[in-house]
Amino acid sequence: MDSRHAPTAFALSSFSSLLLAFAFAFCFSTADVGATGEELNLPGLDSDVLQRAQKSADFGLTKLGDCQVCRALVKSFEVGLKATERGKYEGGDASWEERKQGSYLDSDIRFIEIQEQLCNDLTTGKDQCHTFFEKWENEIDTWWEKGRKKGDKLYDSLCIDSSKVCCPNGTFGATCTPCPGYPDSICSGRGKCKGDGTRKGSGACKCNDGYFGEMCTKCAAGYFKANEDEKTRVPECQKCHPSCLNHCRDKTPKGCEVCKDGFLWDKDYGCLDIDECVELGYNPCKRNTFCVNTEGSYECFQCDKACDGCNGDGPDNCKKCAVGFVKKDNICVNAKNEERAKQMELSRYATYFGLCVSTCIIFRKNIYVASVIGLIVALYIAVAEYTVRGGSGSNSNNFFSDLFSSEIG
């Protein structure tokens, strides 16, 4: 983009972004969205649920489904159990309290202490968790008094049996229907059952990358069958080489059935990358940009600002110099800087000339003083030129060390 238009483009871009921000703010301020988006902390929820909840959080929509709320409550309760597992009765004589009221670990006091912190460790769905607890408090209390002592799990008792918001693993829907392949080979072990463990979902298999079919038993386009389970006859699908279009026989370029655009078939090596920057016979990039080959394609990059057309990056690859730049030592440099450098060089030589003239004048009056001054002037000029022309720094020690090393060489 022309630098003269950059401020205008930036202003327009900023103004558009501001309008877009106001539009989103208006939409979300008028919508009934519940809690604001925060970093999610949903212990025990599967990755799909977390991803959906995170996407919702990005837009301020963080309401969880009933099963997810119940799972979060159970996990929070388990945090409380862990935090109080080394607890004891407060007071002067804990042993007496144990004998009188029974073990602290099974006591109502411990249950109350857990309740007081329940759901507070959540950063998403906290209000829903509290509401769910209030609704099912009696059932949780019954589990604490009876079910827990029989070995029943809180998740099974609360989420599956009492509230009926979740299903056992491997089942889905309102009646907890078994997923395809239940119980040992759900979706052939190559996918997930939609709604697994909840009272929702269709139960259809969501296949992993590289698989498709009702039971995820086929290799998808871009994958090939590498191995096959002898017992289940389910294939192990591996990704084709990037140069292959859709189908292949193995993971090498020679295993491709058809090459992608940007690749050319070679009988010895298979699909080989085409260097569009060279083999097309013309520059595929627009003016004042240069071409860089990539696998299967190419990219165009802007030439250096010093160039008017270029063959690569940097001012040393210019076809010719842009306005305001001149070529020096095959590099396009700023014309103003070059002119300033010439003026400084002339000024430096004029100074040297003046010093020499002054030395000559002194020489006519006192030969000894003139000799010393002449030596100093000569040394000053030598060091100055050495520094200006890129020697090892301005330090005189560097000058003499370079001088002596060159003499020895």
Angle at 236 between CA 227 and CA 243, to 5 degrees: 95
**Partners of residue 166 on adjacent β-strands:** 198
CA distances from 226 to 188, 219, 241, 252 (A): 16, 10, 13, 12
Query: In Å, how far are 46, 60, 125, 133, 326 from 63, measured between CA atoms?
Result: 16, 9, 6, 16, 65
Burial class from Cβ neighbours inside 10 Å (0-12, 13-18, 19+) for residue 230 reads exposed
pLDDT tens by residue, the chain, 409 residues: 444 444 433 343 444 444 434 443 433 333 333 333 333 333 444 555 555 555 544 444 568 999 999 999 999 999 999 998 876 666 555 555 555 566 778 888 889 999 999 999 998 899 999 999 999 999 999 999 999 888 999 999 999 999 999 999 999 999 999 999 999 999 999 999 999 999 999 999 999 999 999 999 999 999 999 988 888 888 999 999 999 998 999 999 999 999 999 999 999 999 999 999 998 888 899 999 999 999 999 999 999 999 999 999 999 999 999 999 999 889 999 988 766 766 677 777 777 677 777 767 766 666 777 777 777 877 777 776 667 665 544 454 555 565 555 444 4
pLDDT of residue 361: 73
pTM, two decimal places: 0.57
State how far the Cα of 12 lies from the Cα of 169, in Å rounded to an integer. Answer: 54
Give the pLDDT score at 350: 74
Query: Which residue reads 């409550």 in tokens?
Result: 73
* Residue type, position 361, single letter: I
Q: What are phi and psi of 322, to 5 degrees?
A: -75, 170
Residues 6+ apart with CB under 8 A from 357: none
Angle between helices 367-388 and 335-365 (to 10 degrees): 170
Provide the sign of the torsion angle of the four alpha carbons 137, 141, 143, 148, taken in this order.
positive
Residue 62 near residue 56, CB atoms below 8 Å: yes
pLDDT score of 333: 92
